[in-house]
A and B are shown apart, each in its own frame.
Chain A
Amino acid sequence: MLNIVDLEKRWFIYKLKSYIPHLSILISLIVIISIFLAFSRASQDISQLTITPTVAPIIVKKETLPVKEPVQATPKAVVKIEPVEVLKQEPQLLHDNNRVKLSPSLGFMRKMQGSVQPYYKNDLEYKGQVQEQAPAPITEVVEQEVIVPLSTLEAEPEVKKISIKRQNTQNDIYEIIARFKKNNNPALSLFVAKKYYELEDYQQAYNYALITNKINKEIESSWIIFTKSLVKLGKRDKAITTLEQYIKQSHSSGARILLDEIYAGKFK
C-alpha cells in the first residue's frame, strides 16, 4: 500500500533540493554580473583616460609637427594603452571559447549518428537484399553474404568471446537472482532452481522451483525440479503425491517417467 503522506513529504524535499542548483546558478550569476559591472566601470575610467591619447595620434598624422609633443609628453598614455590591449584580447579569448564549445556539439552529432546506425544498418541489410538501396550499405551486405559461409572457422573464437560473460559459477547465481527480482521472469527463477540443484543445494532448489511455480504453474520442469528436490530432502512421500497430482492435470510424460523412477527406487 502506498503511503501518500510520506511520499508527498519526500517529493517536497526532492523539489526543494532540485531548486538548489538553480539557486546557486542564480547567485553565482548575480555575483559574476556585479563583478563584471564593477570591472567595466573601472575600465571605463581607464578608457576615458586613454581615449584622448589614442585618438590624438590619428589627428596628429595630419598635422604631424605640432602634436608630436603631446604624444611624447604623455608617457603615461603608453602605459595605459596596455590595459586597452588587454581588454581587446579578452573578446578574442571569448571567441576561442566559442570555438571550443562547437566541437563537443559536433561530437554529440557524431554520437547520434553512431547510435542510430546499427538500427538503420539492420533495416538496410534486409531491404538491400530485396531492393536496391544506397550503395555503401549494399556492399556491406554483399560482403556479409560472402563472408558468412567462409568464416565458419573464425566463428569459434567469436562464440567464445560472447560466452565470457556467460554465468557458470555460484557467484553468478546472485546476479541472476538480482535480475529475477527486477523482471520477475520465471525463466530466471527456474534457472536458479536448476543451478542450485546442480550444486546440490536442494533447499534452495526447492525454494526457487516453488517461486517459479507461483508465477507460472504450467512449466513442467519447475514441477520436476521441485519434486526431485523434495526427494533429495528426504520427503519422498510428498514428492510422490505432488507428482501424482500434477500428472493428473497435465499428463506430463516427463513427470510420469520421474514418478516411475522414484517408485522403482532408481531416483533417490
Chain B
Amino acid sequence: MNSIFVNSKDVFLDIVNAKDYIQLDRVSTIYQALKNSIKKPLKMILLYGKPGTGKSMFLNKLHKDLSSSQKVYLYQTPILDESEFYKTLAQDLFETKYSGELNFTQFMKIVKSQDNEEIPVVLLDEAQLYSEVLMEKIRLLSDTRTVKFVITLHKTEKEDIIAKEHFQTRIWETIELENASSGELKIYIQKKLMKANCFDSANMFTNKSVNKIHKITNGNYRDTNKLLYTLFDLYAAYERNQQLSSVKTDQVSNKLIEMSAIHTGLIHA
C-alpha cells in the first residue's frame, strides 16, 4: 500500500541532508551573505542559533555548494584530541600524512609552508564541544589567514547573553539563525512536501493551519518536523482503520494537529 500520508510522513524525518535543503528568503539572504564573506579575508565566521534552527543543515548545504569550486571541508563531529585535530587537517587540507603526535607549532609550520593561492575553508559543526584550548588554537590559526573557519555554535537560552556579548565585540563575523515566521513556515512545509511529490498534502496547509502549527512550534524547524511527522502518522493510522471520514482531509484537521502536539509533548495535556 502506498499511502500519500505515509509518504508525507517520511518527508519530516529529522535528517540533515543538503539535498533536502529548502530555499527560504531569509535564510538565502544570510546564505548569500555568508558566501560573500567567505570570499573576504575575514578571519572566522560564527553561525549560531537555538537548537533546531537549521545550523547543521546550513553548513551541509554550504559544503555541498562550495565543494565544486573550492577547497572546503566539513567536520560534523568535533575532533577532541588536539594532535588528532591537526593530523586530520594536515591530511585533508594539505595532503600531508603524519604518523605520531603533531603539535601546534609543527602544524603551523606545515600551514606556513603552503603556497596559499587558495585558502581552504573549514566548516566545524557543534563548535561548543571543542575544548577551550583547541578553540584558542583555531582562532590563532585563522588569524594567520591561511585557513578560514566557519563554525556553528549551539545556543541555548542560558547562553543567550554570552552569545550577545560576543556579538557586540565583533571579533568574528557572526550570523544568527532564527526560528521561522509563520509565512516562512508555510513555505518550508509546502516546499518540503512538493519536493517529495506530495502535492495533495501540501495543499492541505492553509494559512490558518500553518498559524496553528506556528503557535505550537514557534517556527522551530525541528519541532515542526516532529509535529508533522506525527500528524501524518496519525492520518495514516486513521486511513488504516478506515476512519478517515471522521477527520478533515481537505485541510489539516486542527484536532489532529493538537493530538500530534500532545503526543510529541509540544503541548501538555
Q: Which residues of A contact B (CB under 8 A)?
A: 1-2, 4, 7-8, 10-11, 13-15, 17, 118-119, 122-123, 125-126, 129-130, 144, 147-148, 151-152, 154-156, 158-168, 176, 179, 182-188, 190-191, 194-195, 198, 219, 221, 253, 257
CB nearest to B130 among chain A residues: A166
Of B126, B255, B263, the contact of A188 (CB 8 Å cutoff): B126
Main DSSP-derived SS at the A contact region: helix
Task: Say if the beta carbon of B1 comes within 8 Å of chain A.
Answer: no
Nearest B residue to A219, CB-CB:
B77
From residue A112, how far is it (CB to closest CB) to chain B in Å? Answer: 12
Chain A residues whose CB sits within 8 angstroms of the CB of B175 once the complex forms: 122
Tell me, rounded to whole Å, the shortest Cβ–Cβ distance linking A183 to chain B. Answer: 6
**How many contacting A-B pairs (Cβ < 8 A)?**
141
Contact between chains at A11 and B80 (CB < 8 Å)? no
Q: Are B77 and A187 in contact (CB under 8 A)?
A: yes
User: Range of interface residues on chain B?
Assistant: 35 or more
**Contact present for A2 and B125 (CB under 8 Å):** no
Q: Which one of A8, A159, A167 lies within 8 Å of B259 (CB-CB)?
A: A8
In the complex, the answer to whether A152 meets B143 with C-beta atoms within 8 Å is yes
Q: Could you tell me the distance in whole angstroms from the C-beta of B156 to the nearest C-beta in chain A?
A: 8
- By a CB distance below 8 angstroms, the chain B residues around A158 are 165-166, 169, 171
A118 partner residues in chain B, CB cutoff 8 A: 167, 176
Q: Does B10 interact with chain A (Cβ within 8 Å)?
A: no
Interchain nearest-CB distance for A18 vs B (Å): 9
Q: A167-B128, A183-B52 are in contact. Are A2 and B162 (CB under 8 A)?
A: no
Q: Is the pair B139, A155 in contact by a Cβ cutoff of 8 Å?
A: yes
The 4 closest A-B pairs by CB, nearest first: A14-B269, A126-B33, A187-B77, A163-B132
Task: Please give the distance in Å from B51's CB to the nearest CB on chain A.
Answer: 7
B250 within 8 A of A: no
Assembled-state Cα–Cα distance A179/B155 (Å): 12
Q: State A147–B129 Cα separation when bound (angstroms).
A: 28
Nearest Cβ in chain B — how far from A250, in angstroms?
A: 15
Contact indicator A148/B43 (Cβ below 8 Å)? yes
Contacts of B33 in A (CB 8 A): 122-123, 125-126
Of A17, A122, A152, A176, the residue contacting B269 (CB under 8 A) is: A17
Residue among A1, A17, A125 with most chain B CB within 10 A: A125
Q: Which of B47-99 contact A (CB under 8 A)?
A: 51-52, 56, 76-80, 97, 99
The segment from B113-121, B193-201, B210-218, B230-238 found at the interface with A is: B230-238
B78 touches A148 (CB 8 A): no
